A and B are shown apart, each in its own frame.
Chain A
């Protein structure tokens, strides 16, 4: 008895307790809903059976139904395009800006702070504003492009199926760039200056210094940002609601918006859950890649 008590207050038991507490928290707050979601995707659920746990099991019927729908493939492709383009755009522009502000000219930190404004704005507000900017007849973007001679006639960003997904991607890049920039700036400032001095003495030019010092030193930061970017873009819902509502004809629809539409507009909760499960699989695959790519990092 005394031994157990001693172990709990100062020993292995204490360590186990420390681990168990957050694990229990994680399990209750994230694990259970996740399991519940997976269970729901194998059941027949409607508004009236939402409150009970006992529902008829239908096996893989929801999955089969989902993949036999004509819109499923385009929506999955849209999601892939949305995620990859958004992350690429946010990362490249964010990295460019971070390198720019790293040069530390007068006022650099102020300007960098101002960029964060886009990050603190609520998604729905950003969506509503971009909705106006991208409006076909009176939008600012069209006006600007017309005046500068880039386009002849108006582009109907929201309503032309060739552009609608890009309309949301543009808005999402704008929204996420500053976050990328801040994280990358932190990574940049962590690189010891003497490395660059030594490289310069050895005669490495700016480009060589970037590829042999900056990029390798930033590997874990970049990995983290891409992983976070994947999560944030897969979560991006407000912009779709604010700009295109997934239209026209699903040309800008993505899985996360579709899951909501199925669950809360058409009250098909089982299908909504099914889509979420598919998304979970993708996120897990991505996190495996992320964990593997940063496994060999030497920390500390």
Chain B
């Protein structure tokens, strides 16, 4: 009995002393949380960083998309937060406005690697709160119009002239819709989650609206166009409950002639789509109107209660220094205007990329506002109320504006 107890005590003591010894001999440890899987940037870049033996050791933990915010919040409020985290860009302001993220402005000003002017304005705005930078854009994406060139030809449309304006888009959709062949003119998503807002907001912005004046004349017109598309069955009624990935799936299978979605579709489309397709900029309200687009993807940030802000920033600097490989190695678009993305050798993908990079210039962040999810919910509800015919576009957006005003205060 006694001998056994001593043995256990001894092992425990040995274990703790070993751990203590290991920790003291160890370099500074920086923990990183992101949702990147093994084929995505974060874990790979961290492996490379650790091999360089800089005196900083980086530990990685993968978190699930749905858990990012709640997990991070729980960790932060109990003092267990990692040093570095990747958050979805509309959630960034929630953290920075409450001082949960470190203000990186001074470090960025001194850095020779991270330069604010290298970034697209949209992604940069999403990490900005009250004029200060609380993060670094990790990657970016946006949406544009995919179209089936073979179907354009078959219906007498010019495949080299995709629709430029909303009216042209509706007109093309009318010509392309073919119920007998199970073909809808357009596929997009008006789902009652963030995807619906992501897809609708660019339309409102192109027409002079925005989340803080969502009931402007242009936004109402945009919603009316969406309603026309659904009422005339130019898009599947399931647009209301289908996400972007599933909607674009119907485009790939030849059941929709056009689709609005982002560059994350490219690899699947190249594999699945058995027809010639192209990508065009999002149609605008009228010729020469202001362009706009949605902006997706994640930002890096450092938690304000980190014990090693300098070292954490060094890790971020390393990530940023590898931005030029992002597309080639990991299929993600860097959020930077100063990097020319090298061709991939796949002509359709390269052509599409050019369009997406052009479209990125007009990408606007959602918010930034700390209560973005509530604003977004008001917009989703308005879209759905109008598209199901329960309210007119004007009434629905007026109600949304009322709700958003309550949030904005």
* A51 to B374 alpha-carbon distance, docked (Å): 22
Residues of B within 8 A of A265 (CB): 193, 373, 377
Q: Are A268 and B73 in contact (CB under 8 A)?
A: no
Residues of A within 8 A of B374 (CB): 266, 268
Q: Are A52 and B77 in contact (CB under 8 A)?
A: yes
Query: Does A50 sit within 8 A of B, measured CB to CB?
Result: yes
Query: Does B161 sit within 8 A of A, measured CB to CB?
Result: no
* A264 to B399 alpha-carbon distance, docked (Å): 23
Q: Are B373 and A247 in contact (CB under 8 A)?
A: no
Interface size on A, residues (CB 8 A): 31
Q: Are B384 and A247 in contact (CB under 8 A)?
A: yes
Least Cβ–Cβ distance between B253 and chain A, in angstroms: 9
Stretch at the interface among B112-120, B123-131, B214-222, B237-245: B237-245
* A250 to B193 alpha-carbon distance, docked (Å): 12
* A48 to B95 alpha-carbon distance, docked (Å): 9
Query: Does B390 sit within 8 A of A, measured CB to CB?
Result: yes
Residues of A within 8 A of B237 (CB): 136, 156, 159-160
Query: Does A177 sit within 8 A of B, measured CB to CB?
Result: no
Q: Are A247 and B238 in contact (CB under 8 A)?
A: no
Q: Are A159 and B239 in contact (CB under 8 A)?
A: yes
Residues of A within 8 A of B205 (CB): none
Q: Are B255 and A71 in contact (CB under 8 A)?
A: no
Interface size on B, residues (CB 8 A): 33
Partner of B78, one of A51, A135, A156, A250: A51
CB closest residue in chain A, given B66: A264
Query: Does B191 sit within 8 A of A, measured CB to CB?
Result: yes
Which of A160, A247, A248 counts the most B-chain CB atoms under 10 A from its CB? A248
> Contacts A47-B73, A137-B182, A247-B191 hold; do A156 and B385 have CB atoms under 8 A apart?
no
* A249 to B387 alpha-carbon distance, docked (Å): 9
Query: Does B271 sit within 8 A of A, measured CB to CB?
Result: no
Residues of A within 8 A of B69 (CB): 47, 267
Chain B 244-295 interface residues, beta-carbon cutoff 8 Å to A: 250, 255
Least Cβ–Cβ distance between B88 and chain A, in angstroms: 12
Query: Does B192 sit within 8 A of A, measured CB to CB?
Result: yes
Q: Are A48 and B73 in contact (CB under 8 A)?
A: yes
Residues of B within 8 A of A220 (CB): none
Least Cβ–Cβ distance between A45 and chain B, in angstroms: 11
Residues of A within 8 A of B76 (CB): 48
* A264 to B91 alpha-carbon distance, docked (Å): 13
Given contacts A48-B77, A248-B241, 12 further A-B contacts (CB under 8 A): A47-B94, A50-B77, A71-B381, A135-B238, A137-B182, A137-B250, A138-B255, A247-B384, A248-B192, A251-B388, A265-B373, A267-B94
> Nearest 8 A-B pairs (CB), nearest first?
A51-B77, A249-B384, A247-B192, A156-B237, A47-B73, A159-B240, A248-B240, A158-B241
Q: Which residues of B contact A (CB under 8 A)?
A: 66, 69-70, 73-74, 76-78, 94, 98, 100, 182, 191-193, 236-241, 250, 255, 373-374, 377, 381, 384-385, 387-388, 390, 399
